[in-house]
Structure formats: structure tokens, C-alpha cells
């Protein structure tokens, strides 16, 4: 079983990301991933994330969104976590603006893997103590460590 900490890198955990709008945040996610993985095109990532959002918001509630999509050219699942400097409207299920985003990109053919990773993320973020630690992480490195700790039951 793939675990979230296996597909998230310290370089894809960012604190203080400028918000602005849902579209702007998705653009920034696409650029972040494409910078880290030059084989993937930022425009393709952005368009795939937007297409998924058109099916229904990935706003999870409690100020969290889990933008995710299947992506041609993606050879293995990857994740990113961002904490925005100011919350943005993400059409979340509870109407709350979003300041924490967990991103999941999976290969076009991934099915069970994709669903299992989404379940892991949702289960972790369902815990108030985890959300609080993620929101209080002062640096990108400590944000990454908070995710790893949460995955390991700490």
C-alpha cells in the first residue's frame, strides 16, 4: 500500500502560499509540481485540476481542500501540501474558505490506489489535532514533518 508520506516531498510542502482565488491557487499548484517534475507540463496539470473541480468542488470542509486528478504522463502518484497565507473560497461542502490544500495527482489508469490515497488524506484531516498542527507549522519543513507525524500516528 502506498502511503502519503511516500509521495510527498519536503519541496512540495509549502507555508505562506499566496491565495487570491481558487483558480490562482490551482495555477500555483500546477507550477509547483511542474517545477519539481519537469516531465509534467504545468498547463496540463492545471487543466486537469480545473476539469476535476468542474465535476464538483474538492473542498472537504474545515478549511481544507483536496484537489486531485488523474493525469496523462504521470507515472506514479504524487502529492503536495500547501498552507495559504489567506483563505480562499473553494466552494467547500461546509461553505468555509480554504487555507489548507492537499494535492493528489495519479496516473491515468490508477483506480484503487487513487481512492486509497484519498481515503488516507481524508482520514488524517478528519482529526482536529492534525489540522491544528498543520495550521501552526511555522515553516514548510515543519509542515512536511507534521504530515509525516500524522501518518505515523504521532
Catalytic site positions: 68
Beta bridge partners of 13: 81
Helix (H, G, I), strand (E, B) or coil at 14: strand
Return the C-alpha cell found at 139.
515553516
How many angstroms separate the Cα of 147 from the Cα of each of 13, 16, 42, 121, 144? Answer: 9, 16, 25, 10, 5
CB 77, CB 2: distance < 8 Å: yes
Distance CA 77, CA 135 (A): 25
Amino acid at each position: 500500500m502506498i502511503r502519503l508520506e511516500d509521495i510527498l516531498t519536503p519541496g512540495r510542502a509549502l507555508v505562506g502560499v499566496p491565495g487570491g482565488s481558487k483558480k490562482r491557487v490551482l495555477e500555483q499548484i500546477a507550477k509547483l509540481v511542474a517545477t519539481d517534475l519537469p516531465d509534467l507540463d504545468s498547463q496540463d496539470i492545471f487543466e486537469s485540476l480545473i476539469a476535476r473541480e468542474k465535476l464538483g468542488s474538492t473542498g472537504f470542509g474545515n478549511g481544507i481542500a483536496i484537489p486531485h486528478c488523474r493525469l496523462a504522463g504521470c507515472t506514479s502518484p504524487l502529492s503536495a501540501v500547501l498552507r495559504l497565507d489567506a483563505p480562499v473560497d473553494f466552494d467547500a461542502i461546509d461553505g468555509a474558505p480554504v487555507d489548507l490544500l492537499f494535492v493528489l495527482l495519479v496516473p491515468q489508469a490508477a483506480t484503487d490506489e487513487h481512492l486509497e490515497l484519498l481515503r488516507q488524506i481524508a482520514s488524517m484531516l478528519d482529526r482536529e489535532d492534525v489540522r491544528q498542527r498543520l495550521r501552526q507549522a511555522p515553516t514548510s519543513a515543519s509542515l512536511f514533518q507534521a504530515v509525516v507525524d500524522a501518518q505515523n500516528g504521532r
